[in-house]
Chain A
Amino acid sequence: MGRVLKKEDYNKFLQHLKDEGELIAPVTTKMVRFETVKNIRDIDLNSGNPFFPIKKYFLPNKEALLKIRSGETKSVDKVEKKKLIFGARLCDINGIAILDELFLNHEYADEAYKKRRDSIIIIGINCHTPPSKYCFCESMDLKKEGYDLLLHKREHNYFIDVLTDNGAKLVRHLPEAEVDIPLPKTKKHLDRKDLKPFFADNFWEKDSEQCVSCQRCTILCPTCFCFDLQDEINPRTKNGDRVRTIDSCHSKDFTQVAGGHVFRDTRLKRYRHRVLHKTQFFQDKFKRSMCTGCGRCIEYCHSKIDFVKTINEDFQ
């Protein structure tokens, strides 16, 4: 059973969310991005999908996993503040469900991730029309999961799908209703196919020759989770942290071993690895695609490389 929110109560609802904890939502400065909301009037759902996905709140660019003090290690007892993320779309939310697969449901659960995950409430919004011409989520089997609440705008009201107890608490004052929320439709589509037969295809070269390894695609991807572990030490005190930093498989030293050998030594190998991880490898292992079709890696690519077009048109 879902809930219904009247259009005239929308701002009241946003204020209610803001009163619950730190509210994060799309805010337009120079470009639209997820930011902490100072005033609910700043929330902007009409300027497209925010530049950065909500991933940054779940897997920050850098976080300390251990403290290092005089050559010894200590645990980091960080208290995660309650956050409410409003205005994320299903591509980003499915991205979090995919991160959950790896960081929560896996043999080795990641405590730092879990702590943060448990402190965040996601109130998603459903797309009527795709926010960008590069969106192709309709092809990616998105699921209605990963959020606490999902709002679907209708002519006079909003349907709210309620998935969790945390979500239910936020809307218990609203009238109940049967809600049926349709998944978004997109103009762009990815022709899902087994890419194994195309591993040695020349078309990888066509795309990778344009790539400048700027890593924008991995930074903007809602699911790119590859990370590095490094010790950051003050050279004078010898104290510091063991940190996890977001890494990119596009960087040359990503597969470098001690002694200097680099396994994925060409840009073609690195480019192909990323696309196959998104579309094939993760799918083989977890039975779901790692790509959610948000289109950011195409829209913001320095060289306008469109892997969807290549897969659709060239890999025949």
Chain B
Amino acid sequence: MSLYKLKKYLIKDVIKQTNDNTMIRIQTNLNPIPGQFVQVSIPGIGEAPISSASYNKKELDLNFRVVGSVTEALNKFKKGDKVYLRGPYGNGYPMEKFKGQNLILVGGGCGVAPLRGIIEYIDKHREDYKHVELFFGFRTPSDVLFKNEVLEWSKRYNLNLSVDKAPEENLFHCPVGFVTQILERVNISNENSSVLMCGPPIMIDKSIEIIKQKGFTDEQIWVSLERHMKCCTGKCGHCMINGKYVCSDGPVFRYDEVKSIDE
């Protein structure tokens, strides 16, 4: 049997999120921990690593932005089709470690998808965590992912939703500005807290700067890194940064492990 052998799963639903984002719901008991990813495989086209956007024993949600040949092909899949997967791979957010803590989630664009998995995890283990504060930023109101769930989240958790600009009607009546600007304004305590981030590098860098000004240490910050993962098993070398394989040593790292690594 090959290491790269694939298994086929049924697509239970396809939920168009935005112009360029789609979420597929797959029937599977793989149940990755939040932050882990699977390799989606379309024979004849190739493979693409996609993070889990859910925490569920029976279903796996994968949200993807159409950006390459695999996601372009995946975007054509319909409910009832079957898709090949392998995984899950990598280290997710160590949710066990955060028990008894306040959690601050900072996400931007597509990066909100893995954080949705964390929310579903917290929902199922609510008594294990204290205050939960969400900072989610999107480009425009129409780019907001999981539109139907955002309202629900805001009922259960302290949601700070923002859009970079609002050229059309701001359906969410949320502040217009970068998520980092909101983060800067909000009063959050570093006491018994961890910050879990996922998003574009510029958002992560700026958020870390702000969070550290608020008194957080490197050890309280967890980031998910993006790289070109091919084998996903710590071999092929594509995702290696300074000796660390993002696929198997990460993709979620505690910030002090990766803050000084350079290409």
Contact = CB atoms under 8 A, between A and B. Distances in A.
A227 B236 contact: yes
B151 interface: no
Contact of B230 (A103, A109, A112, A229): A229
A199 B262 contact: yes
Contact of B228 (A225, A238, A242, A257): A257
A276 B3 contact: no
B125 interface: no
Nearest to A110: B3
B19 to A, nearest CB: 15
B226 A231 contact: no
A177 interface: no
B235 A111 contact: no
Interface of A is mostly: mixed
A76 B2 contact: yes
Interface string A265-301: 0000100010011001110110000000000000000
B41 to A, nearest CB: 8
A231 B46 contact: yes
- Which of A68, A247, A257, A285 counts the most chain B CB atoms within 10 A? A257
Contact of B235 (A225, A273, A281): A225
B235 A66 contact: no
A240 B44 contact: yes
Contacts of A281: 240, 242-243
Interface string B92-127: 000000000000000000000000000000000000
Interface in A185-231: 199, 225-231
Interface string B183-209: 000000000000000000000000000
B160 to A, nearest CB: 27
Interface string B40-72: 010111111000000000000000000110110
A231 B6 contact: no
Contact of B237 (A225, A231, A263): A225
Nearest to B236: A227
A66 B44 contact: no
Contacts of B243: 276-277, 280-282, 284-285
Interface stretch (A127-135, A149-157, A248-256): A248-256
A259 interface: yes
B5 A258 contact: no
A313 interface: no
Contact of A258 (B3, B48, B231, B248): B48
A161 B6 CA distance: 43
A29 interface: no
B263 interface: yes
Interface of B is mostly: loop
Nearest to B226: A257
A110 B231 CA distance: 11
Interface residues of A, number: 48
B235 A73 contact: no
Contacts of A14: none
Interface in B218-252: 226-228, 230-231, 233-238, 240-243, 248
A227 B46 CA distance: 15
Contact of B68 (A227, A258, A273): A258
- Which of A76, A103, A228, A231 counts the most chain B CB atoms within 10 A? A231
B172 interface: no
Contacts of A199: 262
B44 to A, nearest CB: 5
Nearest to B71: A258
A65 interface: yes
A19 interface: no
Contact of A71 (B4, B43, B67): B43
Interface string B1-41: 11111100000000000000000000000000000000001
A227 B6 CA distance: 19
A258 B248 CA distance: 20
Contacts of B237: 225-227, 247, 249, 254, 277
A229 B231 contact: yes
A102 interface: yes
B4 A242 contact: yes
Contact of B263 (A225, A256, A263): A263
A137 B228 CA distance: 33
A8 interface: no
Contacts of B84: 73
Interface in A84-125: 102-103, 106-112
A237 B45 CA distance: 14
A233 interface: yes
A106 B72 CA distance: 34
A205 B234 CA distance: 29
Given A228-B236, A277-B240, 15 more contacts: A65-B2, A66-B2, A66-B5, A71-B43, A225-B235, A227-B235, A230-B46, A231-B43, A231-B46, A254-B228, A255-B238, A258-B71, A276-B242, A277-B237, A282-B243
Q: Ordered nearest first, which 3 A-B pairs have the shortest CB separation? A: A281-B243, A258-B68, A226-B237
25 contacts: A65-B2, A66-B4, A66-B5, A68-B44, A72-B43, A73-B43, A102-B235, A103-B235, A106-B233, A108-B3, A110-B3, A229-B236, A231-B43, A231-B44, A231-B45, A247-B236, A255-B227, A255-B228, A257-B228, A258-B71, A259-B68, A276-B242, A277-B243, A281-B240, A284-B243
